[in-house]
Structure 1
Amino acid sequence: MTETRPDFIVVEGPIGVGKTTLARRLARSFGSELLLEGADENPFLERFYKKPREAALPTQLFFLFQRARQMQELRQTDMFRPVRVSDFLIEKDRLFAELTLEDDEFDLYEQVYNNMTMDAPQPDLVIYLQAPVEVLLNRISKRGHDYERNISAAYLQRLNDSYTRFFHQYTDAPLLIVNAADLDFVNSSQDYEMLLERAKAVRSGRHFFNPQPFNL
């Protein structure tokens, strides 16, 4: 990490929490390369949300191949270029696989995963956004993606729980855990600037950002 900023920032969190929005703003602030997961490119995703059991494995494998390719491209670029910002951590792919696949499918998936992610670069900072299920559902509804209209509260709760367990044990990079329930990175410059300054200050270890809403 440099004196004022990390070189590779990852924003993570469950569906609808605002990670892509924040990643875009961080990339603009740093004038950096932006690496986004391409959920819209996955031809199995809408089918998965309609019939999870039938489409879980191809959905997950598509994402794994996509993310591994993106990480490999990132690793091959000039590491002396400005900051890079991503809205996904490669390890999240395994988290989703554990949540959606049957045991025999997961065994197959894990063999592929272990051979494709060994050279993924480690981030200098991970920003983990948290929010309760009702907030996630509201944000998903507002953005209006067709393939997300069948996402259930039960699925989001399981996903939230999986993220909590994952980051409780995460030690591979400095971690900033953010309560994003009352933060608006689209319309509030104050919310964003507070988080930006907090992120710049993280050098190592685990940190928490839990701003309280103002009561008028």
Structure 2
Amino acid sequence: MHIQHRYIVVEGPIGVGKTSLVRKLGESLGSELLLEKAEENPFITRFYQNPRQYALSTQLYFLLQRAHQVQGFRQIDLFQSSHIADFMIDKDRLFAELTLTTDELKLYQQIYQHMTIDAPKPDLVIYLQAPTEVLRERITKRGIDYEQAIKDDYLTRLSELYTRFFYDYDESTLLTVNTQSIDLIDSEQDYQALLDEINNIRSGRHYFNQSSFAY
């Protein structure tokens, strides 16, 4: 298959299905995967149990971890092979705004600025959306222990931050996908419709939901 997009990022709030979609797209497009490693963060379980106490340590660990992954991007020849990731470095600032106090956020921003992170720009960003109740259902279904402590209010506020971020986003071609009523993992028809959309996209902002295709 001809690969139009050499570097694709799938983003969206917790539980929306980023990694599952990335794995499936990787198989279809023959792309190498670049996956975030949330489970390696030693603070993540304690954060969801006590967000106030562990927010800063959790966020700084993620920042350093993803910065290290981004450094690896510089060694990748995106013209020789295609890659698809389930995170973009910008997401760290969204979580920081959500979880940190004013003073902690200032410290985080100072560290972020001094790190001079230079991430490659994706050819295509796929932004997955779903309402809080759907995110909750998916989090429960996948059964990751530490995620079960996530509050609905946290999911709602996180989704709002993502919405605001992508409202003005213009650094890459953007495909916003409403996943509430479509099943991109278990419905081959839904997935194929999305894959066709991805293959036909050239530039600009695009939207994909159940009304985007007919059965």
Give me the TM-score of the superposition, normalised by structure 2: 0.95
State the shift of 1:186 in Å: 2.2
Mapped pair 1:174 → 2:173: yes
Amino acid at match of 2:12: G
Match of 1:89 in 2: 88
Amino acid at match of 1:66: Q
**Equivalence map 1:113-192=2 (5 Å):** 113-192=112-191
Amino acid at match of 1:110: Q
Match of 2:101 in 1: 102
Match of 1:9 in 2: 8
**What CA distance in whole angstroms lies between the structure 2 residues aligned with 1:26 and 1:112?**
34
Residues 197-206 or 14-23, more deviating: 197-206
State the shift of 1:20 in Å: 0.6
Match of 2:196 in 1: 197
State the shift of 1:213 in Å: 10
Amino acid at match of 2:173: P
8 A Cα contact 1:176 1:208, kept in partner: yes
**What CA distance in whole angstroms lies between the structure 1 residues aligned with 2:17 and 2:198?**
16
**What CA distance in whole angstroms lies between the structure 2 residues aligned with 1:122 and 1:129?**
18
Query: 3-state SS of the aligned residue for 1:204?
Result: coil
Match of 1:20 in 2: 19
Query: 3-state SS of the aligned residue for 2:150?
Result: coil
**What CA distance in whole angstroms lies between the structure 2 residues aligned with 1:52 and 1:30?**
38
Match of 1:73 in 2: 72
8 A Cα contact 1:174 1:204, kept in partner: yes
State the shift of 1:151 in Å: 0.5
8 A Cα contact 2:174 2:205, kept in partner: yes
**What CA distance in whole angstroms lies between the structure 1 residues aligned with 2:47 and 2:25?**
31
Residues 117-126 or 54-63, more deviating: 117-126
Match of 2:49 in 1: 50
8 A Cα contact 1:90 1:117, kept in partner: no
Unaligned runs of 5+ in 2: none
Match of 1:41 in 2: 40
Query: 3-state SS of the aligned residue for 1:147?
Result: helix
CA RMSD of aligned residues (A): 1.8
Question: 1:105-149 CA distances to partner (integer Å, 9 max, x unpaired)?
Answer: 111111111233531111000000000000000000000001101
Residues 114-123 or 154-163, more deviating: 114-123
Unaligned runs of 5+ in 1: none
Question: 1:151-193 CA distances to partner (integer Å, 9 max, x unpaired)?
Answer: 0110000001000000001111000000011222221111111
Question: 1:19-51 CA distances to partner (integer Å, 9 max, x unpaired)?
Answer: 111111111111111011101111101111111
8 A Cα contact 1:98 1:106, kept in partner: yes
Query: 3-state SS of the aligned residue for 2:56?
Result: helix
- Report how many residues are paired: 214
State the shift of 1:202 in Å: 1.7
Amino acid at match of 1:70: Q
Give me the TM-score of the superposition, normalised by structure 1: 0.94
**What CA distance in whole angstroms lies between the structure 2 residues aligned with 1:147 and 1:213?**
35
